[in-house]
Amino acid sequence: MTTITLSWGDRPIALETVDGRTCLRIGQNLRVDVTDASLDQLDRLADVATDLAEMQRDRYQTADVADQVAAEDGHRFVGVPFQRRAAA
């Protein structure tokens, strides 16, 4: 099995039909043929998309909380202090 890594950011995601084949278009360069996909597989795809959205919401909420705490303490951003050490 080959794994392909794709980062599409906010590029469009849409269904399209080409020559009687239904495809899921993700960004400009990826098209997944879903014509013969079973209902179970399509439901699973929807579940995975929902899980991804929940993970991203949690990530945004965590970042917002850190920003709010920093703002309450009078800081403009949250960061890890960096201290230089002498090289051996």
Strands 21-26 and 13-18: antiparallel
pLDDT tens digits, 27-81: 888 888 999 999 999 999 999 999 989 998 988 888 777 667 767 766 655 555 5
C-alpha to C-alpha distance for 40 and 44, rounded to whole angstroms:
6
> Is residue 42 in a domain?
yes
Q: Is the pLDDT of residue 23 over 90?
A: yes
pLDDT at 74: 67
C-alpha to C-alpha distance for 63 and 43, rounded to whole angstroms:
31
Query: Does residue 55 or residue 8 have the better pLDDT?
Result: 55
Tally of domains within the chain: 1
> Is residue 6 in a domain?
no
> Is residue 77 in a domain?
no
pLDDT class for 88, splitting at 50, 70, 90? Answer: low
User: Residue 51: beta bridge partners?
Assistant: none
* Structural domain range at position 43: 13-70
Cα four-point dihedral sign 54, 58, 59, 64: positive
Provide the residue type at 63 as one letter: A
